């Protein structure tokens, strides 16, 4: 990937991941599906769980099913029980840490692999009341028969249920059909699965007016990426541990065939059939939420593109309507990334169960946690949000809270839906936050012609928005169907950043040519609006993670209203007021800030000057210096062991070595992607660490190029350069396109490119801006011979301008013809380095050329005679017409000895191929009993070979 374009490359990496859409359990750590409530530390004296196979209801075809169940028992007395449900794609093993923690708090804990998961039998029905929910009721029945479980009545255990995502929905649905449940903790889950997969952000559509009829309510666009990942995780992980349980292999994995068929149809058409919508609706908490009487804690992620805050809000509204005690926590994590408040969420979840299940608190009493807890986004990236509470949950619209109108500076715009739905805007990729990647490239979201921006006036005073802002506008289209995706961006000066990686989709059926009013709810979240900033509502006609219509259309947006913002001023968990300050407090803080600035100003100026001085002035003119790098992985393997080398201006340096030599690890440390255990890397005198500013002077292509497939080659280069924030004239696009040599294909989508075309575009992207140091990993991968030949002079000429090129490659012939210098690594060390010309030209080696037709018996006898000659160290038959002779004698004496031995010599040279040098030095370094001695690592090739031969 191009390390100077981390955002674009990260998109391709993330799109290749099968991100498990359901967390394994409340709190179970899972990098691809982080959840709201984290894992607790296991107890020091863990109890060995009782493992059993529990028969449950058969499959629709009559096949018998048993669940793989584990129970953490209590040694004595009667105790409440907790059913601990895992997330989609997980198993009972996913929740062992939570089970141990709950057992320590006095519970009997039951964990099981859900039907179609782990070692349990059956197929996945997505929480069908007749299957998965009935299975959970059977577990309650069994818990009621245990001697260590407390009963409220015969057959009625004192029971709580806890789960995240898939398990969170199960908990709500179980409580909705079984009054024996006494408390629920449900995290990052859904209310209506149909609405979650086909979301619709249109609200309260006005009635028909003279201007035209109102839109017809339709399901929203299909979340195709998440649906695909559901199936990938089920086929890959759910039940992978038990082939026998999984049954015969099929394209549906362990999904119920009917469910699979309906999802496949939706994926092919991009729309939902009535049958699928009815099934998803039935497999949801929504139909039975009015019957839930167990006090419920809802934990939902703000950064969650699968199940947004609207799903938790719907569950909360149902609980409020029925008078059931509940509390809501908005986590800053979700399916797309981990929470920064794991410990607080864990403790709140356990306290909820302790309060209502273990301690049997009255439903009319005070809640064990705040009724509503949310996080105010951090002002600096990587910092946790500030936890804030309100005495009542206000809902996404703000409820009784204050609302504020934010006038628009732009109230209209136009956009088109492209034929075929491509290229598609890219706003948010599921799972990127879990990889530590923030997608905030406005250029690849606001594709020209396919987007329009509605900007607000600058906000006068800082505001905290808690919920879903609302906007009204009028839509006019030349087609009967309109699909829009709304996202919220913060505009500060010339900077445009995505406030949350979320979109609000809208699909409408309208009368072509007639204006249609619509009101949309923007993504629900917590937003910080500093004074003086503006909000931008970006409307796009496509979004890459959703199924897009293939029918072209033109869309006009007019009469956009002011934004209605739900504003909250809560109390910080630490006791301070969050979201607003009185005038005296603001003045006091301002005065304090002035005093601090006066006191620290001089120090900051001096520090800034020091930061801009080279860390090593003596290396300021050397593009790359690697000194003493060491990297040992957690398993004890030392991948890089005291590696030192440098690349000077004007050089093309080849980094060579067999697999496992440590080349890739070294390159990743050079680029600051991973840290070293010891040693340093300096680029132009500045030490390299993650995010070092000096890396802006480096172009790199590491482990293959990454591009947005729906954009053309030219658009990819332009989008990448725009993301750097540098002036267009500094990009040198013409030079880069000459390197790519794509001709007319440069204006075709990259998805149509061959591997070689992508590789050439990747090299061109790395060369944008003409960086002083260019690092290329396997640059000729995928290129045909003419393209490889054309690349050689480009790289040599690039270095001849005073720049530096470093190439890691296994194609030794190409390195020999392209590079001026080489560094050879083996077993984590540098075993030789130097000029290519010196390495292939050696005083002790003579190349003897023979005629094409030589008698093999005579040749063997002559070679044997030559080997016996004085001073001849080695004679090796390289080809039938070529001998390599290593000797301590002069070249003329060697030739004379060869002729005297009977060899028909027709030519003599001293130059060997780099491949011969490479294999020889690797062979000598790998010889048993011949370890590399300290001080030998950087020895010249000739000296190294002489040392080995002398031993």
DSSP per position, 687-747: EP-TT-GGGGGEEEE-SS----TTSBHHHHHHHHHHHHT--GGGS-HHHHHHHHT-GGGGG
Q: Provide the pLDDT for residue 914.
A: 60
How far apart (Å, rounded) are the C-alpha atoms in residues 336 and 333? 7
Task: Write out the E strands in 309-457.
Answer: 326-331, 372-376, 386-390, 402-406, 413-417, 451-455
- pLDDT mean over 651-672: 85
The number of angstroms, rounded, from the C-alpha of 76 to the middle of its chain's C-alpha atoms is: 47
- pLDDT mean over 737-748: 85
Phi, psi of 86, rounded to the nearest 5 degrees:
-90, 175
How far apart (Å, rounded) are the C-alpha atoms in residues 220 and 201? 8
CB 825 within 8 A of CB 672: no
Q: Which residue has the higher pLDDT, 8 or 340?
A: 340
In terms of average pLDDT, the best of 56-70, 432-446, 913-927 is 56-70
Q: Provide the pLDDT for residue 10.
A: 30
pLDDT above 90 coverage of the chain, percent: 36
- pLDDT mean over 637-656: 90
Q: Is pLDDT of 943 > 70?
A: no
Cα dihedral: 223, 225, 226, 230 (round 10): 130
Q: What is the largest CA-CA distance in the chain?
A: 110
Q: What is the pLDDT of residues 225-263, one digit of tens each?
A: 887 776 655 544 444 444 334 343 456 778 899 988 888
Q: Is pLDDT of 946 > 70?
A: no
**CA 845, 846, 851, 856 torsion-angle sign:** negative
Q: Which residue has the higher pLDDT, 328 or 934?
A: 328
- Band (718; pLDDT cuts 50, 70, 90): confident
How far apart (Å, rounded) are the C-alpha atoms in residues 624 and 670? 9
Written as six digits, the tokens of 264 are 């496949």
- pLDDT mean over 793-816: 83
Q: Provide the pLDDT for residue 922.
A: 59
Q: Is pLDDT of 405 > 60?
A: yes
Q: Which residue has the higher pLDDT, 410 or 8?
A: 410
In order of 309, 330, 668, the CA distances from 389 in angstroms are 17, 10, 43
Q: DSSP label at 124?
A: B
Q: Is pLDDT of 888 > 50?
A: yes
Helix (H) or strand (E) holding 487: strand 481-492
Q: Provide the pLDDT for residue 233.
A: 55
The number of angstroms, rounded, from the C-alpha of 329 to the middle of its chain's C-alpha atoms is: 25
How far apart (Å, rounded) are the C-alpha atoms in residues 261 and 245? 21
Q: Which of 550-559, 584-593, 669-678 has the lowest mean pLDDT?
A: 584-593
Q: Provide the pLDDT for residue 208.
A: 40
Exposure of 784 by Cβ count < 10 A (0-12 exposed, 13-18 middle, 19+ buried)?
exposed
Exposure of 109 by Cβ count < 10 A (0-12 exposed, 13-18 middle, 19+ buried)?
buried
In order of 164, 185, 284, 317, 574, the CA distances from 37 in angstroms are 8, 10, 21, 22, 20
Q: Which residue has the higher pLDDT, 503 or 947?
A: 503
Q: Provide the pLDDT for residue 180.
A: 97
- pLDDT mean over 731-748: 86
In terms of average pLDDT, the best of 22-26, 160-164, 386-390, 640-644 is 160-164
Q: Within 13 A of 837's CA, how many CA atoms are on the CB side?
A: 2
How far apart (Å, rounded) are the C-alpha atoms in residues 557 and 536? 15
CB 415 within 8 A of CB 451: yes
Written as six digits, the tokens of 642 are 């005291």
- Planar angle of CA 744, 722, 705, nearest 5 degrees: 60
Q: Is pLDDT of 796 > 80?
A: yes
How far apart (Å, rounded) are the C-alpha atoms in residues 672 and 683? 11
Total residues found in the chain within this entry = 951
In order of 202, 516, 748, the CA distances from 473 in angstroms are 11, 8, 35
How far apart (Å, rounded) are the C-alpha atoms in residues 843 and 856? 29
Q: Provide the pLDDT for residue 615.
A: 64
In terms of average pLDDT, the best of 41-50, 62-71, 417-426, 435-444 is 62-71
Give the fold, CATH level 3, of 839-950.
Alpha-Beta Plaits (3.30.70)
How far apart (Å, rounded) are the C-alpha atoms in residues 94 and 87? 8
How far apart (Å, rounded) are the C-alpha atoms in residues 34 and 307? 12
- Planar angle of CA 447, 420, 308, nearest 5 degrees: 65
CB atoms within 10 A of CB 422: 15
- Band (384; pLDDT cuts 50, 70, 90): low
CB 708 within 8 A of CB 426: yes
Written as six digits, the tokens of 150 are 């407390």
Contacts 24+ apart (CB under 8 A), 265-274: 266/222, 266/227, 266/547, 267/222, 267/224, 267/227, 267/228, 267/547, 270/221, 270/222, 270/224, 270/547, 270/548, 270/549, 271/219, 271/222, 271/547, 272/194, 272/197, 272/198, 272/219, 272/222
Calculate the average pLDDT of the chain: 80
How far apart (Å, rounded) are the C-alpha atoms in residues 555 and 486? 14
Contacts of 782 (CB under 8 A, 6+ apart): 754, 755, 756, 758, 759
- pLDDT mean over 473-481: 93
Task: Write out the E strands in 339-480.
Answer: 372-376, 386-390, 402-406, 413-417, 451-455, 463-467, 470-477
How far apart (Å, rounded) are the C-alpha atoms in residues 414 and 449? 8
Q: Provide the pLDDT for residue 383.
A: 60
- Band (673; pLDDT cuts 50, 70, 90): confident
- pLDDT mean over 334-347: 83
Q: Is pLDDT of 734 > 90?
A: no
How far apart (Å, rounded) are the C-alpha atoms in residues 734 and 730? 11
- Please choose, from the candidates 701, 704, 702, 706, the residue with its C-alpha nearest in 3D space to the C-alpha of residue 750: 706
- Band (131; pLDDT cuts 50, 70, 90): very high
What homologous superfamily is domain 618-834 in, according to CATH? Answer: P-loop containing nucleotide triphosphate hydrolases (3.40.50.300)
Written as six digits, the tokens of 159 are 């029971």
Written as six digits, the tokens of 287 are 């139909």
Q: Report domain extents, the chain.
A: 27-195+284-390, 402-571, 581-612, 618-834, 839-950
- pLDDT mean over 681-710: 82
How far apart (Å, rounded) are the C-alpha atoms in residues 838 and 842? 7
Q: Which of 535-539, 806-810, 900-904 has the lowest mean pLDDT?
A: 806-810
- pLDDT mean over 721-739: 82
The number of angstroms, rounded, from the C-alpha of 50 to the middle of its chain's C-alpha atoms is: 37
In order of 366, 370, 398, 576, the CA distances from 571 in angstroms are 18, 10, 16, 6
CB 764 within 8 A of CB 740: yes
Give the fold, CATH level 3, of 402-571.
Jelly Rolls (2.60.120)
Q: Is pLDDT of 37 > 60?
A: no
Q: Which residue has the higher pLDDT, 187 or 463?
A: 187
- pLDDT mean over 802-812: 84
Domains 27-195+284-390 and 618-834 are alike in CATH topology:
yes
Q: Provide the pLDDT for residue 841.
A: 62
Q: Is pLDDT of 300 > 90?
A: yes
CB 437 within 8 A of CB 6: yes
Q: Is pLDDT of 814 > 80?
A: no
In terms of average pLDDT, the best of 65-74, 456-465, 582-591, 600-609 is 65-74
In terms of average pLDDT, the best of 164-168, 385-389, 814-818 is 164-168
Written as six digits, the tokens of 596 are 């601090």
Is 27-195+284-390 CATH 3.40.50.1820? yes
Q: Which of 407-421, 578-592, 699-713, 778-792 has the lowest mean pLDDT?
A: 578-592
Q: Provide the pLDDT for residue 346.
A: 87
Q: Which of 17-26, 592-601, 772-781 has the lowest mean pLDDT?
A: 17-26
Helix 713-724 vs helix 755-767: crossing angle, to nearest 10? 30
Q: Provide the pLDDT for residue 190.
A: 96
Place of tokens 């440098």: 646
- pLDDT mean over 637-644: 90
């Amino acid at each position: 990937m191009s390390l100077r374009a981390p955002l674009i490359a990260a998109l391709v990496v993330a799109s290749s991941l099968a991100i498990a859409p359901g967390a394994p359990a409340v709190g179970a750590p899972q990098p691809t599906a982080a959840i709201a409530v984290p894992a607790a530390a296991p107890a020091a004296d863990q109890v060995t769980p009782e493992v059993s196979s529990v028969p449950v209801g058969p499959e629709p075809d009559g096949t018998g099913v048993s669940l793989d169940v584990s129970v953490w028992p209590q040694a004595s007395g009667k105790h409440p029980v907790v059913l601990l449900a895992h997330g989609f794609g997980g198993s009972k093993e996913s929740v062992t840490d939570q089970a141990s923690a709950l057992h320590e708090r006095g519970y009997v804990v039951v964990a099981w692999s859900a039907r179609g998961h782990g070692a349990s039998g059956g197929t996945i029905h997505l929480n069908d009341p007749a299957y998965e929910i009935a299975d959970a009721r059977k577990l309650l029945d069994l818990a009621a028969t245990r001697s260590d479980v407390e009963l409220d009545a015969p057959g009625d255990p004192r029971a709580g249920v806890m789960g995240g995502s898939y398990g969170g929905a199960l908990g709500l649905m179980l409580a909705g059909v079984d009054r024996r449940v006494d408390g629920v903790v449900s995290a990052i889950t859904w209310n209506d699965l149909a609405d979650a997969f086909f979301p619709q952000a249109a609200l309260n559509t006005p009635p028909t007016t003279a201007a035209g009829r109102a839109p017809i309510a339709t399901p929203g666009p299909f979340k195709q990426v998440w649906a695909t990942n559901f199936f990938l995780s089920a086929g890959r992980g759910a039940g992978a541990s038990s082939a026998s349980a999984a049954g015969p292999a099929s394209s549906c994995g362990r999904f119920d065939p009917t469910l699979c068929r309906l999802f496949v149809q939706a994926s092919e058409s991009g729309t939902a059939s009535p049958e699928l919508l009815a099934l998803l609706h039935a497999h949801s908490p929504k139909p039975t939420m009015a019957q839930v009487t167990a006090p419920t804690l809802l934990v939902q992620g703000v950064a969650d593109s699968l199940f947004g805050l609207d799903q938790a809000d719907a569950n909360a509204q149902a609980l409020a309507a029925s008078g059931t005690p509940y509390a809501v926590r908005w986590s800053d994590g979700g399916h797309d990334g981990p929470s920064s408040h794991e410990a607080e969420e864990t403790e709140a979840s356990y306290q909820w169960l302790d309060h209502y299940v273990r301690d049997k608190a009255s439903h009319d009493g005070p809640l064990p946690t705040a009724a509503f807890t949310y996080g105010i986004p951090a002002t600096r990236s990587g910092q946790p949000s500030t936890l804030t509470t309100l005495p009542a949950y206000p809902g996404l619209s703000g409820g009784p809270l204050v609302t504020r109108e934010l006038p628009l500076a732009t109230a209209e715009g136009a956009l088109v839906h492209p034929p075929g739905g491509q290229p598609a805007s890219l706003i948010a990729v599921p799972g990127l936050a879990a990889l530590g990647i923030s997608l905030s490239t406005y250029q690849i979201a606001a594709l020209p012609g396919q987007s329009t921006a509605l900007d607000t006036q600058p906000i006068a005073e800082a505001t905290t928005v808690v919920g879903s802002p609302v906007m009204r506008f009028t839509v006019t289209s030349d087609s009967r169907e309109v699909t829009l995706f709304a996202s919220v961006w913060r505009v500060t000066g010339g900077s445009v950043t995505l406030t949350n990686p979320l979109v609000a989709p809208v699909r409408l059926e309208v009368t072509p040519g007639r204006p249609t009013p619509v009101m949309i709810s923007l993504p629900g979240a917590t937003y910080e609006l500093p004074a003086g900033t503006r909000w931008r509502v970006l409307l796009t006609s496509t979004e890459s993670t959703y199924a897009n219509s293939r029918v072209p259309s033109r869309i006009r947006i007019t009469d956009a209203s002011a934004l209605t913002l739900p504003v909250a001023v809560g109390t910080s968990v630490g006791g301070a007021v969050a979201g607003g300050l009185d005038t005296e407090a603001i003045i006091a803080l301002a005065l304090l800030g002035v005093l601090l600035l006066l006191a620290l100003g001089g120090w900051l100026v001096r520090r800034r000057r020091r930061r801009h001085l080279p860390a090593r002035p003596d290396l300021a003119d050397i593009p790359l210096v690697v000194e003493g790098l060491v990297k040992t992985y957690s398993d004890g393997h030392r991948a890089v062991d005291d590696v030192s080398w440098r690349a000077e201006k004007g050089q093309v340096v080849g980094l060579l070595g067999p697999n496992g030599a440590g080349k890739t690890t070294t390159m990743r440390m050079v680029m600051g992607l991973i840290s070293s255990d010891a040693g340093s890397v300096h680029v132009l005198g500045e030490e390299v660490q993650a995010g070092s500013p000096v890396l802006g002077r480096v172009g790199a292509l590491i482990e293959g190029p990454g591009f947005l497939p729906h954009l053309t080659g030219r658009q990819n280069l332009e989008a990448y350069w725009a993301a750097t924030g540098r002036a267009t004239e500094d990009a040198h696009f013409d030079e880069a396109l000459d390197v790519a040599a794509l001709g007319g294909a440069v204006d075709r989508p990259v998805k149509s490119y061959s591997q070689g075309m992508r590789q050439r575009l990747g090299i061109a992207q790395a060369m944008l801006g003409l960086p002083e140091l260019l690092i290329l990993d396997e640059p000729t991968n995928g290129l045909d011979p003419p393209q490889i030949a054309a690349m050689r002079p480009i790289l040599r000429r690039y270095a001849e301008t005073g720049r530096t090129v470093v190439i890691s490659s296994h194609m030794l012939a190409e390195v020999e013809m392209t590079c001026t210098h080489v560094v050879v690594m083996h077993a984590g060390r540098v075993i030789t380095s130097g000029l290519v010309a010196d390495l292939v030209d050696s005083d002790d080696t003579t190349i003897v050329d023979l005629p094409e037709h030589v008698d093999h018996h005579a040749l063997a006898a002559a070679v044997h005679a030559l080997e016996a000659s004085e001073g001849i160290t080695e004679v090796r038959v390289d080809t039938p017409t070529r001998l390599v002779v290593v000797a301590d004698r002069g070249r003329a004496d060697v030739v004379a000895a060869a002729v005297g031995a009977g060899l028909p010599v027709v030519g003599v040279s001293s130059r060997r191929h780099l491949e011969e040098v490479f294999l020889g030095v690797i062979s000598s370094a790998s010889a048993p009993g011949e370890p590399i001695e300290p001080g030998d690592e950087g020895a010249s090739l000739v000296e190294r070979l002489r040392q080995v031969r002398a031993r």
